[in-house]
Amino acid sequence: MTNLTLDLETVNLTDEQYYQLCIKNKNLRFERNANGDLIIMSPTGDETSNRNGRLTQQLFNWSDTNELGIVFDSSGGFKLPNGAERSPDASWIPLEKWQKIPLEERERFSNICPDFVVELMSPSDSLKATQEKMQEYLDNGAKLGWLINRKKRRVEIYRQGKEVEVLNNPSTLSGEDVLLGFVLKLAKIW
């Protein structure tokens, strides 16, 4: 199944209703765009899930050495300033920002855009839709974003205030000034 988008513009699903929908239907993945439309996504498939685990694993390993922030896997959900609810495949929030989020919000979907986001495209994902999502993260405050296109072995790097950079078949990616000292090894992710 490809994504199914339901126009909820006049339905006005509350945040509580959206949260209940998500936790009651864990076999599906949900997002909401800035118009409030509901996007229903099938699970990614096992291979993409494995690669995503590898990616999150490296990010966790790096984070454990410095404790500069908090890492999230693909089940984290964030309500962006534009109202969209998004779940990046991996993401990271600096510790001081995370600590400002009220405890009860942390257990649900926090009102924050992560500083760092990754979208790891599964074979059925649309490149255009994923690019728009990356741009949305930047517009909502993300500092660094990686769009990893496994099928084409290509990575698009999104940086605040800069043109998108495209890397063909890189072996590593640098966390730059956002994830200090982090280097993602891509060998087991392609």
Contact stretch for a second copy (CB under 8 A) within 22-30, 71-79, 97-105, 153-161 = 22-30
Q: Which stretch binds a second copy (CB under 8 A): 12-20, 64-72, 121-129, 141-149?
A: 12-20
CA–CA dist 168, 96 (Å, integer): 35
Residue pair 85/111 in contact by the 8 Å Cβ criterion: no
Q: Does residue 10 interact with a second copy by CB under 8 A? A: yes
Enter the DSSP assignment of 113: -
DSSP string, 71-100: EE-TT--EE-TTS-EE--SEEEEEHHHHHT
Residue 107 engages a second copy in binding (rule: CB under 8 A): no
Rounded to a whole number of angstroms, the distance between the first and last alpha carbons of the chain is 23
Smallest separation (angstroms) from a second copy to the CB of 15: 12
Q: Taking CB under 8 A as the criterion, which residues in 32-51 touch a second copy? A: 40
> Looking at beta carbons only, is 8 or 164 nearer to a second copy?
8
Q: How far apart are CA 86 and CA 8, in angstroms?
A: 16
Q: Which residues bind a second copy (CB under 8 A)?
A: 1, 4, 6-13, 17, 20-21, 24-25, 28, 40
